[in-house]
Amino acid sequence: MSGEALCLDAIDRRLLNDFQQGFPLSARPYAEIGAHLGIGEAEVLSRLARLSAAGAVSRVGPVLAPKRVGVSTLAAMAVPPGRLEAVADRVSAYPEVNHNYEREHRLNLWFVVTAKDQARLAEVLGEIALTTGLEVLDLPMIEEYHIDLGFPLQWS
């Protein structure tokens, strides 16, 4: 996003807020979202493209419960501060990565990888290590916890 502020109208705000959960599972989910918002399917897609390009949306897709479909792991990296944004962008480029976040710790970049099988998961972690030149710490789940990543957005 450039240095300018992103202007969000009421429909943008509802699009960002209302579909964090309960995304329609249908042949044309964006048409259903549009009907809910009072706009057409093409406008929903156009708005999502604009919001993605501006950095307001990083990903549209499912977050699957661990061990229900494929395999997953939590991973962490110690990234030099000057490289953090570039490495985070590289990590997020993998469709198997559903989110990443910065932490105030020596291990300052954390992310979740979900893959079809253990071989692909290992391949993704290996590629990230190879392309960044940094060690990737694999932290497989021992005990399952559910954390709801949806939250009401506050508009100023």
Mean pLDDT for the stretch of residues 40-58 = 91
Domain ranges in the chain are: 10-53, 71-139
Query: Which pLDDT does position 91 carry in this prediction?
Result: 97
Percentage above 70 pLDDT, the chain: 85
Give, rounded to a whole angstrom, the gap between the first and last alpha carbons of the chain: 20
C-alpha dihedral sign at 36, 37, 38, 39: negative
Q: Which of 36-40, 64-68, 127-131 has the lowest mean pLDDT?
A: 64-68
On whether the CB atoms of residues 46 and 52 are closer than 8 A, the answer is no
More confident residue, 33 or 58: 33
Q: How confident is residue 60, by pLDDT bands cut at 50, 70 and 90?
A: confident
CB atoms within 10 A of CB 98: 19
What CATH number belongs to 71-139?
3.30.70.3460
Q: What is the mean pLDDT of the chain?
A: 88
pLDDT value at 73 more than 70: yes
Query: Which pLDDT does position 156 carry in this prediction?
Result: 67
Mean pLDDT for the stretch of residues 84-112 = 93
